[in-house]
């Protein structure tokens, strides 16, 4: 693909993303939920900063951290958008039930949220016998991190570098959901 077509396509994607963000902001405004709007705006600014940092990175570790930040911000934005969509659907359903004549008494109680802690998350790895036991083949290294989602909240772990010397990916972080 020629460079001109690539940049043109990239520009179109940015325009579509901006339109999508405007739509999400309008939903947040119609729901009068400024808290979620502030969260979305914050994540958009963080994502823009991560994009600029990723473009300017000269070292691999910096690029990995910037890419992780970019992925985390994008995932949080998607989670907030899903939460907004659920809120909008609930608002519409509430209006529909108010209008219906057979609606019974509304129960205004909300469930309380509990806390769950996750720590020492381990993911077992499986290597080819020739790579692991005989130390043959290329030494592939990967950077891995974990994103945990509970409703509209996104949590991330530290990044771990994995190669064939490891049998498990271990995330030592304690995450409270």
Domains contained in the chain, number: 2
Element spanning 47, H or E: helix 34-56
Q: Which residues pair with 160 in a beta bridge?
A: 144
Domain that holds residue 29: 1-109
Q: What is the pLDDT of residue 3?
A: 46
Q: What is the pLDDT of residue 67?
A: 93
Q: Is the pTM here over 0.75, yes or no?
A: no
What's the token pair of residue 152? Answer: 């509209």
Q: What is the pLDDT of residue 88?
A: 79
In angstroms, rounded to a whole number, what is the distance separating the alpha carbons of residues 30 and 48?
25
In angstroms, rounded to a whole number, what is the distance separating the alpha carbons of residues 83 and 40?
11
- Residues 79 and 95 occupy one common structural domain: yes
Residues of the chain with pLDDT under 50: 1, 3
Q: What is the pLDDT of residue 111?
A: 76
- Residues 121 and 95 occupy one common structural domain: no
| CA pseudo-torsion sign 22, 28, 33, 36 | negative
Q: What is the pLDDT of residue 147?
A: 92
- Residues 4 and 64 occupy one common structural domain: yes
Q: What is the pLDDT of residue 173?
A: 86
């Amino acid at each position: 693909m020629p460079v001109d077509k690539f940049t043109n396509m990239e520009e179109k994607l940015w325009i579509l993303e901006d339109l999508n963000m405007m739509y999400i902001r309008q939903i947040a405004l119609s729901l009068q939920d400024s808290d979620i709007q502030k969260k979305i705006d914050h994540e958009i600014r963080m994502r823009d900063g991560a994009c600029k940092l990723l473009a300017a990175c000269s070292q691999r570790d910096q690029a990995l951290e910037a890419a992780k930040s970019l992925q985390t911000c994008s995932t949080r934005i998607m989670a907030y958008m899903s939460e907004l969509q659920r809120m909008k659907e609930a608002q519409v359903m509430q209006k529909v039930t108010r209008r219906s004549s057979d609606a019974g008494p509304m129960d205004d109680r909300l469930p309380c949220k509990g806390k769950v802690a996750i720590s020492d998350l381990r993911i077992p790895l499986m290597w080819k016998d020739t790579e692991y036991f005989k130390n043959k083949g290329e030494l592939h290294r990967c950077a891995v991190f974990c994103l945990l989602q509970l409703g509209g909240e996104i949590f991330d772990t530290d990044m771990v570098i994995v190669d064939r010397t490891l049998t498990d990916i271990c995330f030592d972080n304690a995450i409270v959901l």
